[in-house]
Amino acid sequence: MATRDADSTRIDVLEGDREGDESGEAAEANVGWRYTLIQVRRDPTALVGLAIIAFMGVIALIATIDAVVFGYLAQYSFFSNLGVEQYWFARTYWVNPAIDPANPTPLLPPVGFENTFGQGTWAHPLGTDARGRDILVRLFYGTRIAMTVAVVSTVLALVGGTIVGSVAGYYGGWTDDVLMRASETIFAIPFLILVIAFMTAFGRDLTFAMVGVGIATIPTFARLIRSRVLSVREEDYVEAARAAGLKDRDIIFRHVVPNSFAPVLVQATLQVGINIIIVAGLSFLGFGAQPPTPSWGQMLASSRGYLLPNPWYSIWPGLAILVTVVGFNLFGDGLRDALDPRISNQ
Amino acid sequence: MTDDPLLSVRNLEKHYPITEGVLSRQVGAARAVDGISFDIAKGETVGLVGESGCGKSTAASSIIRLEEPTGGEVIFNGDRASSATTANDERSNDVTEFDDERLKAFRRDAQMIFQDPSSSFDPRQTIGGSIAEPLEVHGMNDRARRRAIVENLLEDVGLAAAEYDRYPHEFSGGQKQRIALARALVLNPDLVIADEPVSALDVSIRAEILSLIDDLQDRYGLSMLFISHDMSVIRDVCDRVAVMYLGEIVEIAPTGEIFSNPQHPYTEALLSAIPTPDPRSTREDIELKGKVPSPTNPPAGCSFHTRCHRVIQPDEYDLEQSHWRALLTFRDEVAEGTVDVEKTRQALGADAAGDGDDEGASDAAVKRQLRTNFDLPETLSDREAEGTLTEALDHLLGGEDDRAGELLSTTFTTPCEGTEPALTDRGTDHQAACFLTESEQSFREPVGVRTD
C-alpha cells in the first residue's frame, strides 16, 4: 500500500511538471525537489522539525531586520524621520514602561515563580539576568547569531566540501590522495582547538567563527560526496558525457554533483544543528559574539555563577539550543528518509 | 585517401597496472586488451565478439579514448579529423596522440552507445537535454535550433517529438536504447561504437532495435563497431566479425565465412552456443569447461589451450580427443593444487554412510571418483598414458601432490602451450590464430549453423 501511494504521487508530480513547465531546465530541478517535499509532508516528525526551523528562522529574520537593517537605515534622516531606529521592534513591543532602567531588578524568576530576588512579573516573562536584562529579549536576539553562524558556516563547508570531494572522487589518483589526505589532516585536529586557534590567529570575531567552523567541517562533506562520486563517475551517462566531448568541469558540476548530492543535503541539515552547539560552545568559551551582543552560548556562560539563586537564567538559553538542534535533526532525518527510500521502507 | 579504411586499429594495448604496497610498486599488469589489430571501412559494420571479461568493452573505450590505451595506434580518417590534418601535415591521424583540440573534433566523428540503457542517461536531465548536450558542447548555442534537431531525431528513432521534456525513468529499456541511438547520431558522426547495445533488452525488442540500427546506418552512412557476446545478433548486423579471447583477436573474417567455416575452436564453441530453433537438430553442443584464465597471468602459448576442445595431442599419443582434454584439465588442476583427495573421500564416505565405516571410502573408490569428476575413462586407450595416470593417482592418494603434479606436467604436454600462434590466412579476408591447419580441420563439418 505504501509503495503504491508513493508511486501515484510520483506520477502526479510528473504530470504536474508536464503541464506546468515550458522550459526544460525548470522541470529538471523540480522532479527531485517536489517529490522530496511531498515525501517530507507525509512525515510528521519531519514536519515538526520543519516547523521549529521555520519558527526560529522567522525570529532570526525579524531580529536581523531590527538589529542590523534598521540600525543601518537609521543613519539616514529620511528613515529616522519616519521613526526607524535600531531595536525599534523591541522597544515598541517589548520594553515595558514599568521597567525603570536606572533601577534594574536582577535575577528575577519567570512569571508565577518566586525567589530571593522577588516575584516573577509579566514585565519579564522569562525573568531577568544578573544585570536585570530581560531574558526573553536576549534569547530573541540570540537566535539571530545562532542561526546565521550555523547556517553560514554550514553553507561554507557544503560548498568547499562539495568542490574538494567531487574533484577528488572524480579524478582519483594523486589528486584524490592530496585532497583527501589534507582533509584528514584537518579531521585529525580536535575540532574546537582548530577553530579556537583559527580565531586566535585572525580575530575573535563572529565572521571568523563562521569561517573557522566552516573550514573545520569541510572534511565531513568532502568525504561524504567523494564516496558517492566514486560510484556515480562509473555510470554510463558520465562516460557518455565524456564521449560527447564535455569538459571535466562541466561533467562534474552538471552530472556528477547533482546525482551525488542527496546525502550531502541531509548531512548539511544535521550539520546546522551541530554547528549551533559548536557556536554556543565557542561563545561559552568567549570566542564568538562579544558582549553586549546577546548570544545563547554567552548567556549560558554568564549564568554559570547563578545556578543556585536563579536556575532559570541558565535553563532558558539551554532550552533554546536544545529545541533548535532537535528541530534540525528531525528535519534532517525526515529528509534522509525522503531521499533514500530504502531506509524508510524498513 | 578514399580507399583508406575509416578506422585502423594497430596493436592496441590496454594494460591495467597491478600495484602493491604503500609505494604502489607495480607488480604486474592485467592485459585487458593485448595487441589487437583490425580495420573498419567506410560504411562497414565490424562485430567484436567474445565472452564477458575478454576485453571487448575495454577495446571499445580505448579506441574512442574514454580510457587511455597503453600501446598501439588507432588511425582515424574521419572527415573532420582529416581536414584538421591537412592544416598541419606533421600531425598524424593517430587518435592516441590527439591533443585536446583534436580529441574534441574526434568526439564529433565518433560516438558510442552503451550497454545498459538504464544507466546511460542522467536521471536528472530530460532526455531532450541529454540528446542535445553534444550539440551544445560543440558550439550550437541556438536553443530553438537544438530543440528542432533533437525533435527531428526523436522521430527518426521512432519516438514522438513531444517526448523531449520527459525524464529517463519514464521510458522502457527499448525506448531508452532508441534515445541512446538518437544521442549517438545527433552530431552526425562517421563512426558509432555500440557496446552490447541490445544485450540488456528483451528478445522481442532486440529485433526492433537491431533493424532500427540497420536503417539508420544506411541513412546516415555510418561505420560501426558492434560489440556483442551473442553470435546470433552479430549475424544480423555485421559485415565482418572479429572474435576476441583474453584480450587478443583469435579469428577475423567476413560474417558469412565465419559462420560457415570457423577456423578457430573458440569461434566454433561460440557458434555452437547459438540456440537452434529446430528441436530435432542433432547438432552437438560444445561445452567449454574450466575457468576463464585471468588476464593478469594468461596461459603460455595459445591462451585458449586450457579450455580448447581441440587441444592438440603430441604424436606419441592417440587418445580420444575428449579424454586428452580431460587429461590436460586434470593435469592443470593437480599442478595448481586444487584437487582435494580428502574431500572426495569424505563425499564418498557420506554417500555410503550408515554402515559404520569411519574410514571413508576405499582408495580404489576414491580413484574411480576422481576419474569421474574429471570425465576420465576407466582406462585410457594408450597404455603408456594410462600408466602415468595411475602412478599420478597413487602419488595423489599418498599425499604427494607435488610429485603427482610434476609427473603429469612432464609427461603430458601439448604443442599448444609452447609458442603463441600467430594470425594466419585461412582464405580471402579470413585470418585465425590456431596451430590446427586448414588440412587438419577439413574433416570438420560446419557446426550446427544453417547457412541460409
- pLDDT, one tens digit per residue, over B324-344 is 888 888 888 888 877 778 888
Residues of chain B with C-beta less than 8 angstroms from the C-beta of A250: 137
- A28·B126 Cβ contact <8 A: yes
Phi, psi of A295 (to 5 degrees): -145, 155
C-alpha cell at B191: 563512426
- What is the rounded CA–CA span in Å between residue A182 and residue B82? 46
Beta strands in B211-280 (DSSP E): 223-228, 240-245, 248-254
Shortest distance, CA B22 to any CA of chain A (angstroms): 12
**Looking at CA atoms only, how far is residue A331 from chain B in angstroms?**
24
pTM: 0.75
- Residue A191's nearest CA partner among A249, A278, A313, A126 is A278
First CA to last CA across chain B, in angstroms? 36
pLDDT tens for B17-43 read 888 777 777 777 888 888 889 999 988
- List the grid coordinates of A343: 531506509
CATH of B7-238, one of 3.90.1300.10, 3.40.1500.10, 3.40.50.300, 3.40.190.10: 3.40.50.300
**For the ranges A1-10, A111-120, A158-167, B157-166, the one whose mean pLDDT is highest:** A158-167
User: What count of other Cβ atoms lies within 10 Å of the Cβ of residue A177?
Assistant: 12
Pairing status of strand B191-195 against strand B240-245: unpaired
Residue A202: is its pLDDT beyond 60?
Answer: yes
Distance between CA atoms of residues A237 and B112, nearest Å: 11
Residue ranges per domain, chain A?
135-344
Residue ranges per structural domain of chain B: 7-238, 321-413
Q: What percent of chain A has pLDDT over 90?
A: 32
- Whether residue B119 and residue A14 make contact (CB cut-off 8 A), yes or no, is no
Of the candidates B114, B128, B166, which has its C-beta nearest A240's C-beta?
B114
* Angle between helical axes of B173-185 and B127-137 (0-180°, round to 10): 20
Q: How many CB pairs under 8 A join A and B?
A: 77
**Which of B44, B431, B50 has the alpha carbon at shortest distance from B258?**
B431
Which of A17, A171, A239 has the highest number of chain B CBs within 10 A, making it the mutation to test binding with B?
A239
**Alpha helix (H) ranges present in A172-295?**
173-188, 191-202, 206-232, 236-244, 248-250, 257-260, 262-285
Nearest chain B CA: its distance from A266 CA (Å):
18
Pairing of strands B45-49, B25-40: unpaired
Higher pLDDT, A149 or B53: A149
- Provide the pLDDT confidence category of residue A97 given band limits of 50, 70 and 90: low
Regarding predicted confidence, which is higher, B364 or A170?
Answer: A170
Mean pLDDT of A157-169: 95
Hey, what CATH topology would domain A135-344 get?
A: MetI-like fold (1.10.3720)
Determine the pLDDT at residue A49: 92
